[in-house]
A and B are shown apart, each in its own frame.
Chain A
């Protein structure tokens, strides 16, 4: 069964600290992996998109890595800010990248405290 599992489920860190969120997937065939940030009560906003040939991609203080062999991805947040408090969702696309076949993780809820 195609699945995306994220860990930890929730995380609390102090402002200015770094953190890493994990995503393991069993989706096959694999096309691309996306990380989204979702603020409470809002729609998800794209952070990074990686295909199987890419193993790292950065967007400001966000850096995503992908290991297509072990089917693992991580999202590293550097020098966290209060505005980073949100849910971070890992999404995997299979079946030739068909956009109606995205598999969503349940997200990691990050709280950044002053």
Chain B
């Protein structure tokens, strides 16, 4: 079944650690996105990609980085986690020429 997967679902990590949040989709979508969402707040775009080797920063400044080496894979990395990075991170994908998004279930990150 075509879908978009995020791992881990929950992560508690100490300050200063390097982490990578995984996102994979099996739909062959060219466009992929990372959003950050704090509780009760709206989603904010932090990174997006329109294809392999294409990455752009979104509207919300983020210290994270992304890579797009394969169409189906769009990982997000934090080199040195801080408590201010505590949030929910949502990955999404869409087809070119189609309005619809498919979201993953999210990773809830807590930095202590």
Q: How far is the CA of A102 from the CA of B56 in the complex (A)?
A: 15
In the assembled complex, A73 has its CB within 8 A of some CB on chain B: no
**Secondary structure type dominating chain A contacts:** strand
Q: In the assembled complex, how far is the CB of residue A114 from the closest CB belonging to chain B, in whole angstroms?
A: 24
Partner of B42, one of A41, A43, A97, A105: A105
Partner of B106, one of A32, A43, A51, A89: A43
Specify which of B6, B31, B40, B48 lies most central, judged by the most chain A CB atoms within 10 Å of its CB.
Answer: B40
* Residues of chain A within 8 A of B106, CB atoms compared: 41-43
- Chain B residues touching A, range: 20 to 34
* Residues of chain B within 8 A of A99, CB atoms compared: 31, 33, 48, 94, 99, 101
With A32-B99, A44-B103 already in contact, the answer to whether A104 and B42 are too (CB < 8 A) is yes
Chain B residues near A (Cβ < 8 Å): 6, 31, 33, 40-45, 48, 56, 58, 88, 90-92, 94, 99-106, 108
